[in-house]
Structure 1
């Protein structure tokens, strides 16, 4: 069974904004891949590293995922311990399933993860906000 993480993309309005923020962080951090810093180290890191992804929740809905390619303990500039999640640079859109707010990250079992959105999917070419609205109404 594949294990994933999910995280709220706070202050992000859409996939383009997430992509821009990650490019800025990469340049600032001098790293080849995008990354996310979090306080807590996942205890189940080995399960996540065997094919898991980070699923981003934007405006209350799953929006996309990125493969997790590395998990490492780090020390922040102020001396606090943290965890760096190294991510695949590709943002893969997923079906817009509603998700209630939560703090930090949460584990997400493979069978509970939303399916990837393919170009053949009904609504794949629609703007994200319209796709989310139609999904909420059960029309997608």
Structure 2
């Protein structure tokens, strides 16, 4: 799934936001409706869009009904950085196929630390 990190200007701010709202190693993201494919999303990832780029993801643990009729997407409060990938902003959440999901950053190349605009230009030139 993808979700826009409204108000975040970069990956660092998203990390701080998740730390600030985490409780017992979990964080809940409210949504109006339970996804139709909720059962198959458990154990999957919720990817975040910051400034039109997918930048990070958290693992989805469960979907929990709230007393106000909304649903919480409960995730591990551990943000995993991914190789930035262009993605248009949208309202709410969207499904992301496994083949379209960006790879996690598990190297020390520094590519993921590039500013989104520079990353976008280098990717357009097929340099990364």
Measured on the aligned residues, the alpha-carbon RMSD in Å equals 1.9
Tell me how far apart the structure 2 counterparts of residues 128 and 40 of structure 1 sit (CA, whole Å): 34
Q: Does 1:62 align with 2:54?
A: yes
Q: Matches of residues 54-93 of structure 1 in structure 2 within 5 Å?
A: 54-75=46-67, 80-93=68-81
TM-score by length of 2: 0.86
Residue 94 of structure 1 is aligned with which of 82, 85, 88?
82
- Superposition misfits of 4+ residues, deviation over 3 angstroms: 126-133
Maintained 8 Å contact 1:8/1:101: yes
Q: For 1:29-80, what per-residue CA distance to the aligned partner results, in whole angstroms no more than 9, with x for missing partners?
A: xx3112211111111111001x3100001100110111101111112xxxx3
Q: Count matched residues.
A: 126
Residue 35 of structure 1: aligned partner: 28
Q: For 1:99-121, what per-residue CA distance to the aligned partner results, in whole angstroms no more than 9, with x for missing partners?
A: 11211100111112111122155
TM-score by length of 1: 0.79
Tell me how far apart the structure 2 counterparts of residues 120 and 95 of structure 1 sit (CA, whole Å): 12
Unaligned runs of 5+ in 2: none
Specify the SS of the correspondent of 1:66: strand
Residue 17 of structure 1: aligned partner: 13
Maintained 8 Å contact 2:55/2:82: yes
